Structure formats: structure tokens, C-alpha cells
């Protein structure tokens, strides 16, 4: 039982700033660091560090080699990452404030140039029992979802970064959603004031067959499936950088479930891993190893 994470690979240039730059303002940053990132890559790394068998699929440009090295070093199989000679690797410009909050500007590059033929070739190697994990940083998610469904794969979707185009995807094919409250409200078409368990209820009415992980930031996380609801409190930590914390949660939760852990165990492990990621700088390098999370 393998996970195919078909997703983005980004070069993250992270600027430490006194505050997020405003319209019309020129602002000096105090540090610049480069990290391996991309929601797809981060989730593959988290899955592998949680002990899952992971294949990453996607595309980079010629300068993206270190992203493959990062995946390989974490135990991710990268045979399905194409290098496109004429296209730039996806990248992210990240502003990071003193409290650890960030804002992110994305350039899709190679992440948005994945051909239908490559999607079909990659998916032809996977089938019943395998899981397709997607985020919203590559092109043509609908094609991938339909292909995976036709091959009997289960589908996990984290629709970040959220856009209205997500609402046109065949969301009825999703087996497991990873959502924050903003995403959940949009997908459930719920009003602004609705949150937490009420939001899970709305999602269950819209997608009765799907399980949902709803992350609530510092307030913890909720899980719901046909068997019931589980609340996981957050682990309090000294936050230095929240980049990839959500990716760490998703990868660890899925990896833990695939290893046979209960929902309760998977939620606790994912919560600890995500909290640890917040205490470290950068995207992929901030994702802890299983022994650290269990220690």
C-alpha cells in the first residue's frame, strides 16, 4: 500500500521581516534563507518521516535538483518527478515575521506544466489500495482525481492554497479531506460564523463518504468520519516559523493511519509533529523525524 503524492516542489526564499510589506512600501529584510518547500514536497517528506512508502510525482526545472536530493534523503521515491528543461522550478517568496507568521507569494513554474500524458503514465503504476495525495499547487487536479478513481485508488485532498476553482473539482471522489476552517467553509458553502463541529456536520452532509481532518491552528484539530468525531488539542510550543506546519500535520496523520495507527494515535502524532515543525525554521527542514516525535 503506497502513497503517491502528486504535488508541487518549490524553492522557498524566506525573508525575515519586521512586518509584512504593505502596498507602496519598500522594506528591508533582516535575513534571507533558501529552503526546499512546496506543499507537495513537504507532505511527501512528512509522510516518509512518519514511516510511509511514498512516491512523489511532479515537475521541476533544471535548477531544482536540490529538491530531489531533499526528497531522496528523506526516503521518498522520486522516479516520477520530471525535469522540464525549458521551465523554471516553482518557487515561493516567503515573508516571515518575528512571531513566526508568514505570507507567501507563489510562482508555479514547472508545477503548472505537467502534461496529461505524464499524469497517465505515472498513475498507470498505481492501483487498488494505493492512495493519491493532492494539494492545490499543480495543474489539472480533476484529471488526476478521475484517473485515480478509475484505478481504484483512494484520494486524499488538501486544497491549499484555496481558490474558487477547487469547488469545480470532482470533490465527491475524495476519501479524506485535510482542511482549515476557511477552506472547510468554502467547500461546505457554510456561512462565516460556522466553525468546528458544526462545520464538520455540514461537510458530512455534503460528502457523506469522506473523512475530514479539520485543523484549527492553536485551537487544535478535529477529525470526523462515519464512526464519529475526535478532538485533538494543540501542543503548546514556542513558535519561530509556521511554514509547513500544516503539511507536517497532513503527512504525519496519513502516514500514521497507513501504518495502522488508530485515529486517536494518528491525531496525537500529527499534532506533536506539527508543533515541532513550528519550533524550527524553513519548510522541509523543519519537519521532524518519527523518533523525535515519539521521543
Using the Cα atoms of residue 201, residue 207, residue 211 and residue 215 in order, give the sign of their dihedral: negative
81 is a site residue for ligand RIB (CB under 6 A): no
- Residue window 82-101: x/- pattern of binding to ligand RIB, with contact defined by CB under 6 A: ----------x---------
Residue 211: strand pairing partners: 176
What is the distance of C-alpha 181 from the center of its chain?
15
User: In sequence order, which ranges of the chain are alpha helices (DSSP H)?
Assistant: 39-49, 65-73, 116-123, 141-150, 181-188, 196-206, 245-258, 263-278, 290-294
Closest-CA residue to 212 (of 263, 161, 256)? 263
Q: Please work out the total of residues on this chain that contact ligand RIB, with binding judged by CB under 6 A.
A: 15
Residues from 128 through 147 that contact ligand RIB (CB under 6 A): 137
From the CB of 137, what's the least distance to ligand RIB, in Å?
6
14 binds ligand RIB (CB under 6 A): no
Which CB atom, from 70 or from 243, has the smaller least distance to ligand RIB? 243
The answer to the question of residue 9 lying near ligand RIB (CB under 6 A) is no
32 vs 226 by CB, closer to ligand RIB? 32
Is 61 a binder of ligand RIB (CB under 6 A)?
no
Is 244 near ligand RIB (CB under 6 A)? yes
Among residues 4, 6, 17, 37, the one that binds ligand RIB under rule CB under 6 A: 37
| Burial category of 165 from C-beta neighbours within 10 Å (exposed 0-12, middle 13-18, buried 19 and up) | exposed
Pick between residue 42 and residue 215 the one whose CB is nearest to ligand RIB: 42
**Candidate list 6, 7, 17, 39; residue touching ligand RIB; CB under 6 A:** 39
Q: Using an 8 Å Cβ cutoff, are 219 and 229 in contact?
A: no
User: Rounded to an integer, what distance in angstroms lies between the CA atom of residue 103 and that of residue 97?
Assistant: 9
CA separation for the pair 153, 176 (Å, rounded)? 12
Q: What backbone phi and psi angles, to 5 degrees, belong to 223?
A: -125, 140
Residue 50 C-beta: closest distance to ligand RIB, Å: 17
- The footprint of ligand RIB (CB under 6 A) covers 8, 10, 12, 37-39, 42, 92, 104, 137, 243-244, 246-247, 283
Amino acid at each position: 500500500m503506497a502513497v503517491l503524492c502528486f504535488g508541487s516542489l518549490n524553492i522557498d526564499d524566506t525573508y525575515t521581516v519586521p512586518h509584512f510589506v504593505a502596498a507602496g512600501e519598500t522594506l528591508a529584510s533582516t535575513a534571507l534563507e533558501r529552503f526546499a518547500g512546496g506543499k507537495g514536497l513537504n507532505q511527501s517528506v512528512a509522510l516518509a518521516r512518519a514511516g510511509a512508502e511514498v512516491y512523489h510525482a511532479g515537475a521541476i526545472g533544471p535548477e531544482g535538483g536540490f529538491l530531489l536530493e531533499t526528497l531522496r534523503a528523506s526516503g521518498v521515491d522520486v522516479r516520477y518527478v520530471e525535469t522540464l528543461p525549458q521551465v523554471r522550478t516553482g518557487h515561493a517568496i516567503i515573508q516571515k515575521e518575528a512571531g513566526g507568521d508568514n505570507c507567501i507569494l507563489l510562482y508555479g513554474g514547472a508545477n503548472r506544466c505537467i502534461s496529461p500524458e505524464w499524469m497517465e503514465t505515472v498513475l498507470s503504476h498505481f492501483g487498488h489500495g494505493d492512495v493519491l495525495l493532492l494539494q492545490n499547487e499543480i495543474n489539472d487536479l480533476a484529471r488526476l482525481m478521475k484517473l485515480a478513481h478509475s484505478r481504484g485508488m483512494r484520494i486524499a485532498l488538501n486544497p491549499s492554497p484555496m481558490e474558487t476553482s477547487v469547488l469545480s473539482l470532482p470533490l465527491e471522489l475524495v476519501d479524506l479531506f485535510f482542511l482549515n476552517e476557511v477552506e472547510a467553509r468554502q467547500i461546505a458553502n457554510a456561512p462565516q460564523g460556522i466553525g468546528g463541529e458544526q462545520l464538520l456536520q455540514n461537510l458530512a452532509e455534503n460528502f457523506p463518504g469522506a473523512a475530514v481532518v479539520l485543523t484549527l491552528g492553536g485551537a487544535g484539530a478535529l477529525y470526523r468520519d462515519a464512526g464519529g468525531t475526535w478532538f485533538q488539542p494543540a501542543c503548546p510550543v514556542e513558535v519561530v516559523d509556521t511554514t509547513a506546519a500544516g503539511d507536517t500535520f497532513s503527512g504525519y496523520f496519513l502516514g500514521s493511519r497507513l501504518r495502522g495507527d488508530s485515529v486517536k494515535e494518528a491525531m496525537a502524532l500529527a499534532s506533536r509533529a506539527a508543533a515541532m515543525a513550528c519550533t524550527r525554521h524553513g519548510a522541509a527542514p523543519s519537519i521532524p523525524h518519527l523518533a523525535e516525535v515519539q521521543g
